[in-house]
Structures are given as C-alpha cells and as structure tokens.
Amino acid sequence: MSATVVTACEGGVLTLTMNRPEKLNALTSELLGALRDRFAAAAEDPAVRVVVLRGAGRAFCAGQDLSESAVGDDLGAHVERYYKPLVLAMRALPKPIVAEVHGVAAGAGANLAFACDLVFAARSATFIESFARIGLVADTGGTWMLPRLVGHARAMGLALLCTPLTAEQAHAWGAIWEVADDAALADRVADVARALAHAPTQALAAAKHAIEAGWTNSIQAQLDVEGALQRALGRTDDFHEGVAAFGEKRPPVFRGR
Ligand code: LHQ
C-alpha cells in the first residue's frame, strides 16, 4: 500500500505530499495522523528548515473524506482528535510552512492551506469553504483564520455562500501570498523553499511566533514579545553571521543556529 503522505527531505526542505489522488487527497484519519506526526517530527529535526505541503494528482485536497466510517457519529470527537492537534502543530512549528495549491482546495483542505504560513496557488486553483453545503461549519481553524486573512464581510460570504474563491481573487483579497502560472507553480515553490532553507531559521520562527501573538496582545505586551525575541536572536550564530556578511559585503551563510 502506498503512503498516504509521501515525505521527502532535501537541502533543508521537507516536502509533504498528500497522496490519495483518486479521491482528491480527501483526508482520512490515517492521512491526518501522518501529517500531524510529520509536522511534530519536523519541529525536532534540525535538518528540516522549511516544510512544503502539497497534494498528488489533480487537486490539493478535498477536505475530510466523507466516506470514512471511522469518523462515526461524533464529529466533534473527530475534530478534537485529528484536526485540532494538526493545526496546532502547524501553527506552533518554529519553521515556515509553504502551501503549494493546485486544483481544488475544499473544506478542511482549503483551511489546511490557510493554516500554512505562505500560500502559493496555481492560477487555475480554487478554494471552497464548502462546509455549509453539507450542513457543517468551517473547521481546521478556518473561522479563526478567514476573518483575519480577508476581513469579516468576506469571511462571512465565503462561509455562508460557499462560493469558490479563485486563486486570483484569493490573492486580491490578501488570503494568499502569490499566484503562479499552472506550469510554473512547482518550480516557483521550490525556489522559495530553497531560499527559506538558507534563511536564518530562528529569525523566521520568531517572526511567525510574534505575528501570531500579536493577534491577541496589547501593543505593550507585543513590544515585550519583540524585545524578548530580539534578545534571543541577538545571541544566535546567524545574527553574528548576518552582521559580519553585511560588513564584509558578501552573502551570508546562515545555518539556522
Ligand atoms: C471525495 C471527496 C471527499 C470522499 C472528492 N470525501 N471522497 C471535519 C470533521 C468531520 C467530519 C466532516 O468534515 C470535516 C471537515 C470537512 O472537510 S467537511 C468538507 C468535506 N469536503 C467536501 O465537502 C468536498 C466534497 N467534494 C466535492 O465537493 C468535489 O469533489 C470537489 C468540488 C472537491 C471536486 O469536484 P470534481 O472535480 O468534480 O471531482 P469529483 O467530485 O468527481 O471527485 C473525484 C473523486 O474524489 C470522486 O470519487 P469517485 O470514486 O466517484 O471518482 C469523489 O467522490 C472523491 N472525493 N471529495 N471529501
């Protein structure tokens, strides 16, 4: 049996490919558990400096596998057991996560993409908050993320009307970082991931942490967060390398330490 998540790590880039192409990578318990385990392992592995999340076949991900009997009657228990730890692991990962979205990203699949730190989408990709079509509410952090990404009015429109959002529209609304031509998407993401893998990893982690903390902090508390992070970063090898390289007018060599 082939793996539901295909894993490859090269040059500091961990690529996780959801691999149920015949079902548009619909999320089974096995796939969700595998993703959660991979993200947890990535947090501890110094060889991983950036994660790319993508889907095999013609889609990114069609959300929860609606035919999975293991979900049972208590959807809340399923969310609690699989989706919550996955999203928390992604948001807490002290390394950037890049989503490479092509085809459709529906339901939990769309919100899995939005839970990543940078979303690159193929021009033909679509995001569908399809939950209400089957009588459910957005999950996978979507109700937290969407209003922050696109604002209240647009988040409500997406959640209530389930209107597919094109990649161009998602970009225009600020929900994703970049749109690439379909044929260029994989190369574009590979280039960005390579650059991130050579960046000062701890500084990127600090940015991710601080920006997330800022959603709930006062300006005073946030200035404290920034001060504490800057204090720690000021003691890293990468900071000293960055300043030395600047002074010597050469490109820095960051090791993520
Ligand atoms: C699928 C799925 C799928 C199974 C396509 N499941 N097979 C959390 C906790 C607990 C429970 C419930 O949910 C959640 C969160 C959620 O994610 S709820 C939202 C779940 N997702 C959806 O409602 C989307 C359902 N899929 C679709 O609407 C369409 O498939 C989209 C618009 C994604 C793509 O349409 P098409 O391009 O026309 O492809 P298709 O429909 O022909 O799908 C291809 C195959 O994939 C097909 O199988 P088959 O054996 O007939 O070829 C589909 O049945 C299967 N598939 N999504 N979520």
What is the pLDDT tens value at each position of the chain, 257 positions in all?
Answer: 579 999 999 999 999 999 999 999 999 999 999 999 999 999 999 999 999 999 999 999 999 999 998 788 899 999 999 999 999 999 999 999 999 999 999 999 999 999 999 999 999 999 999 999 999 999 999 999 999 999 999 999 999 999 999 999 999 999 999 999 999 999 999 999 999 999 999 999 999 999 999 999 999 999 999 999 999 999 999 999 999 999 999 999 999 99
Q: Which residues contact 147 (CB under 8 A, 6 or more apart)?
A: 155
Smallest CA separation from ligand 1 atom 14, residue: 64
Q: Report how far apart, in Å, the C-alpha atoms of 243 and of each of 147, 164, 229, 236 are.
A: 38, 46, 17, 11
pLDDT of residue 1: 55
Nearest to 124 by CA among 157, 170, 81, 187: 170
Smallest CA separation from ligand 1 atom 10, residue: 75
Structure tokens given for 94: 């002290």
2, 19 in Cβ contact below 8 A? yes
Ligand 1 interacting residues, C-beta cut-off 6 A = 23-24, 26, 62-67, 71, 75, 78-79, 104, 106-108, 130-131, 134, 136, 139
Q: Which residues pair with 100 in a beta bridge?
A: 120
Nearest atom within ligand 1 for CA of residue 111: 17
**Number of residues assigned to the chain:** 257
Q: For residue 211, how many other CB atoms are within 10 A of its CB? A: 12
pTM of the full predicted structure?
0.97
Structure tokens given for 15: 């690529």
Q: Which residues contact 254 (CB under 8 A, 6 or more apart)?
A: 198, 199, 200, 201, 238, 241, 242
pLDDT of residue 72: 85
